[in-house]
A and B are shown apart, each in its own frame.
Chain A
Amino acid sequence: MDMRRFLDLYIAETQEHLRSLSRTLLALESGSGDAVGEAFRSAHTIKGLSAAMGYGDVAQMAHKLEDTLQAMRDGTLQADAQLIDSLLREADALDHAVTHAVANLAPQLDGGAIATTIVPQSTAVAALAAVPMPERTTRIAVVRLHPDAPVKSARAMLIVRGLAGRDGLLGSHPEEYADDFDGILRIFFTGDVDEGSIHETVMRAGDVDTIEFYSPSDIAPVASTTPSPVPPARGGTVRPTRHVRVDEARLDGVQESLGELSILQNRLHIGGSARNGDVDIVDRMRGLLSELQLAVLTMRMVPLSETFERLPRVVRDAARMCDKEIDFRVEGDEVELDRSILNELSDPLIHMLRNAVDHGIESPEEREALGKPRRGQLLLRAERERNSVRVMLEDDGRGVDRKRVMAKALKLGLVSASEAATIPSDEEVFRLLAHPGFSTADQVTEVSGRGVGLDAVVNRVRALGGAVEMHSVDGAGTSFMIRLPISLALAQALRVRVAGENYAIPLTHLSEAIELDGMISMDGDREYVRLREDTLPLIRLRRILLADRSQAEGAAVIAEMGERRAALAVDELVGREQILVKNFDSAVGTLPFFSGATLLDDGTPALVLDPLSVMQGR
């Protein structure tokens, strides 16, 4: 049996249990429920799976972890922070060992070789189940070596050699021994077998623990997994859905082809409208195509839990380092997001969490003095909102010290003295905090690190087509909201017309749209738009797009990039629609203002305008 076939399954299952292990180990600290039992089951399962794959080292590590957890279960070990520290380290090491084993070793045993040295209760029947058996086998001797026998494989060879020449001896399994031979030898016989004499010969070979005889009919026809003396987890981790693993690049390929197909379909649509009979077919094709495109996008979606699962550990480690006491909760981690976005989200989230732990939440003593509960509350929750996902991070800490922010901003020359004297709004505070190099922390701490500021977070989220907002209440806490598109390819866009052409502008960087009538003022040769308190530069898209400028634009959209805002003048605002962006990399010097192309709802193609590059390239 080729165990490589099971490798993917092994990886998937082990990963699941490793995640569960780190989750439950963290839960141990808060003393919740049956965390020990669950952690134990995870360690146990990892051990069994690894042993079955022939990854002896991994199995041993899991076994050690299991021992400790067993002692905690029995009450002989108490779960304190030090113990959990060390358990978490062991779990990390186990994680590395799995990765290492998978990367460096082919599965080393063929078939159900369950390490009896570490699972002594495992039945020989199960150990036999997946072992290939010579055809005429009528009797099987299962020989177990002493768990501490040295060089078991050599001993097994000697045992088989000792039986050489016997009537009815068909062979043995394994036939060849790897370094991590698990010490269970199966010897196959046919015909009448003198069990007593075999027993004697085998025992005489040395280091033999037991020898048992079985008939082929004793053996379950299906390959069984590690027999578990542990009751299965409650609540059921069984997933009825069957999954296939697909290389991301293949999905990209399908998506590309679908894009091409859409364009062809569009040409049919335009050219075919003359021939009445085909219109229905072309329309139906368009419907199916967009369904297919959505289906592919959906395939790229993964639940937030893939990233969120690692975060409790981040919070715990940060809290330990800053001597904070924190209850961290995660909600809505079943919400799905395109994998490429999720991958990018991890760093910003970790940064924000550490910030909240380090700067947001007060020390337990400080909290008590303020009449707050000792333990700070930190909540990470996610919500699906039409075509975007909102990720919120809320703490009940001290809130942002607006006076300090203003003082710092004044020092950095970001605000005037009169501005510094006012109480800034949330938006203003956030804009200042997100300014490169701005940090209210007087010292760089080990936890929040140096160099990476809120500006990096904001830039990363913006690059993904998202936005960050902040809300803070003095003494009561701070919350951040990250809004992200669910897919990089799918965007909400505003359809505009400029010089007779359609363009799509993704909404993520737009704050509002205005009528231009009577709003333009001049300062030298520069044009400005007065918007409430602010004066924004006006950029005429007709000029940017080198179009005929005889006609005046009627409307503008307000684009935002960090603190910078600008009004982009367009002929007409058509409406809002969901678009599927086909990104392209424009050659240097051509089309610098476009990030991609799309087909609009009515099937017309349009270029996707990138308001940020328009602002920068002005």
Chain B
Amino acid sequence: MAKTVLICDDALFMRTMLADILKGAGFEVLGEAQTGAEAVVRYKELKPDLVTMDIVMPDMGGIDAVRAIMKDDPQAKILMCSAMGQQALVIEAIQAGARDFVVKPFQPSRVLEAVQRVMG
């Protein structure tokens, strides 16, 4: 059975790109979220195997979304997607419970390596 993923990013371009990469690796994209608050709701609803989470999103940021999701499901596997120069935020996200991170601009191979580590 294919692994499932929820993609959270406010940019359509990023969601599309991530979806492409992950579909290529055999994931089924269960859904997408454009804000942190939406991500929390969608996670509860969909219970995906993997979540990719942008750090800076409107409404509720990615880090707060991680906290909320982890509170709900401590086993959640969340992969942070950060832009360059967001070290402090990445560290905060990991402290909040994110399993790994990738840095934009995405290289598919690095995304897949990280996904493998998270799923491993």
Contact = CB atoms under 8 A, between A and B. Distances in A.
A179 B91 CA distance: 10
**Most B Cβ at <10 Å: residue of A151, A153, A177:** A151
A151 B87 contact: yes
A150 B103 contact: yes
B91 A154 contact: yes
A206 B103 contact: no
Interface string B77-94: 000001010111011001
Q: Tell me whether chain B's interface is mostly helix, strand or loop, or mixed.
A: helix
Interface in A82-133: none
A151 B117 CA distance: 16
Contacts of B113: 206
Contacts of A151: 82, 86-87, 90-91, 101, 103
A179 B88 contact: yes
A204 interface: yes
B120 A179 contact: no
Interface in A232-256: none
Interface in A178-223: 179, 204-206
**Most A Cβ at <10 Å: residue of B82, B84, B86, B91:** B91
B91 A177 contact: yes
A154 B95 CA distance: 9
Contacts, number: 32
A154 B117 contact: no
A204 B100 CA distance: 12
Contacts of A157: 91, 94-95
A206 B94 CA distance: 15
Given A157-B94, A177-B91, A205 B117 contact: yes
Contacts of B91: 151, 153-154, 157, 177
**Most A Cβ at <10 Å: residue of B84, B87, B95, B113:** B87
A161 B114 CA distance: 16
A423 interface: no
Given A154-B101, A158-B100, A204 B120 contact: yes
Nearest to A162: B117
A161 B120 CA distance: 15
A154 B120 contact: no
A206 B114 contact: yes
Nearest to A181: B87
A157 B94 CA distance: 8
Contacts of A161: 94
Contacts of B88: 179
Contact of B87 (A153, A204, A206): A153
A465 B94 CA distance: 67
Interface string A140-163: 000000000011011001100100
Interface in B49-98: 82, 84, 86-88, 90-91, 94-95
Given A151-B90, A157-B91, A206 B100 contact: yes
Contacts of B90: 151, 154
Nearest to B88: A179
Contacts of A153: 87, 91
A58 B16 CA distance: 40
**Most B Cβ at <10 Å: residue of A154, A158, A161, A179:** A154
A131 B24 CA distance: 45
Interface in A537-596: none
Contacts of B84: 150
Contacts of B101: 151, 154
Contacts of B87: 151, 153-154, 179
A151 B110 CA distance: 14
A252 to B, nearest CB: 46
Nearest to B93: A154
A69 B82 CA distance: 37
A179 B101 CA distance: 16
Contact of A158 (B82, B94, B103): B94
B37 to A, nearest CB: 25
Nearest to B86: A151
A153 B94 CA distance: 11
Nearest to A206: B117
Interface string B99-120: 0110100000000011001001
Interface string A167-178: 000000000010
A177 B91 CA distance: 9
Contacts of B100: 158, 206
A572 B3 CA distance: 109
A206 B117 CA distance: 8
A597 to B, nearest CB: 61
A179 B114 CA distance: 21
A157 B84 CA distance: 18
Contacts of B94: 154, 157-158, 161
Nearest to B95: A157
Contacts of A158: 94, 100
A397 B14 CA distance: 69
A204 B82 contact: no
A206 B116 CA distance: 10
B117 A204 contact: yes
A498 to B, nearest CB: 75
Contacts of B95: 157
Nearest to B82: A151
Nearest to A155: B101
A418 B47 CA distance: 107
B45 to A, nearest CB: 29
B91 to A, nearest CB: 5
Interface of A: 150-151, 153-154, 157-158, 161, 177, 179, 204-206
Given A158-B94, A161-B94, 9 more contacts: A151-B82, A151-B86, A151-B103, A154-B90, A154-B94, A157-B91, A177-B91, A204-B120, A206-B117
Interface of B: 82, 84, 86-88, 90-91, 94-95, 100-101, 103, 113-114, 117, 120
10 contacts: A150-B84, A151-B87, A151-B91, A151-B101, A153-B91, A154-B91, A158-B100, A204-B120, A206-B100, A206-B113
Q: Which 6 A-B pairs have the closest CB atoms?
A: A150-B103, A154-B90, A151-B90, A154-B91, A151-B87, A179-B87
